[in-house]
Amino acid sequence: MPSHRSRPSHKIVSGDSADIYFARAERILEREGLDPIVVMEVFARRDAVLCGIDEAKSLLATVLAEVDPDETIVEALDDGDQIVSKEVVLRITGRYRAFGLYETAILGMLSQSTGWATAAREVVQAAAPEPVISFGARHVHPDIVDVLDYAAIVGGSVGASTPAGARLAGLAPTGTMPHSLVLIIGDTVEAALAFDREMESDVPRIVLVDTFNDEAEEALRVADALGERLYGIRLDTPSERGRVTADLVKEVRARLDQAGHRHVKIVVSGGLTPERIRYFKEAGAQVDSFAVGSYISGATPIDFTGDLKEIDGRPIAKRGRIPGRTHSPRLRRINLADWRD
């Protein structure tokens, strides 16, 4: 049970973010005096790393707070579970009008977050055993950065760059320094020394070395200046200069080692994908961690579907689906009271 999640927003709870036909259906059913007990099942269209289900539980705990608990049962999997195509990840039994309006929100939570978590798992598997950090915040709207970074951590990233996202996962944010700091101070070493002076002792000293001069030379200058206090250097060479290459990583590693700075780690960032990470590993480049942004943040949402499978105890389904509850042995019953603030 996550202790860092907030209540769903007013926009979600009010139904403003729902497809309008769900609101219209609710109004029609109310006027017709219909509110059957239904069973809804939610499943994905492909194998994936499930994420967003805990957020859906929090939503259901909020909107079902006043309903009869004897009529309402929620069964679900958990964030981080590996799921297969068509596996039921959520089953809701209850009065339709108590939760039908929120199908859009539930599917959206699952689709977006599962896409991000699954992409994160792909880069994590490519990088293993070296760790991956989520740097995708700049590619999405700031209102959903926390959800993105949380999903990346669920997918296996060891950290995230934003305080909001790291907080959802119960972690501290991870990051180095921006190029703007180096450009404003005017020298990589001076920027590194300022960073070292001003940052708390528990913040790792990781310094960008590609802003002004040759990366290997800058890495040596920074390592000489900070000594044992330097945790690592980050290579983020832009495409205009050929990006970070395996040969560059090997040269920086060799020069640092020759100068007695074997403790300094190398972080690589900039347009990383599973294929690009495998390129570094297959070339024998000694990268200690990878910072991945757009591959995770730009992941295609994974399609989830919600189906009614029973109405007042009668098995039912639309064409192409099998009526009645799907055999789903991994589902666990959820105590909704545990998911309320």
Tokens found for residue 13: 């709870």
The predicted structure's pLDDT at residue 31: 94
Q: Kind of pairing, strands 230-235 and 265-269?
A: parallel
Same domain, 310 and 322: yes
Which H or E element spans position 74? strand 73-76
Q: Tell me whether residue 231 is exposed, middle or buried, using C-beta atoms within 10 angstroms of its C-beta: 0 to 12, 13 to 18, 19 or more.
A: middle
The predicted structure's pLDDT at residue 175: 74
Alpha helix positions (H), 186-245: 188-198, 215-226
Please report whether residue 38 resides in a domain. yes
pLDDT above 60 for 4: no
Q: Which domain holds residue 26?
A: 10-114+301-339
The predicted structure's pLDDT at residue 1: 39
Please report whether residue 284 resides in a domain. yes
pLDDT (tens digit, 9 = 90+) per residue, 175-224?
Answer: 778 899 999 999 999 999 999 999 888 888 999 999 998 999 999 999 99
Q: If pLDDT is split at 50, 70 and 90, which confidence band does 5 have?
A: low
Same domain, 180 and 230: yes
Q: If pLDDT is split at 50, 70 and 90, which confidence band does 242 have?
A: confident
Strand partners, 88: 43
Give the CATH number of the domain where residue 171 resides.
3.20.20.70
3-state SS class at 229:
helix
Same domain, 175 and 281: yes
pLDDT above 90 for 17: no
Same domain, 56 and 130: no
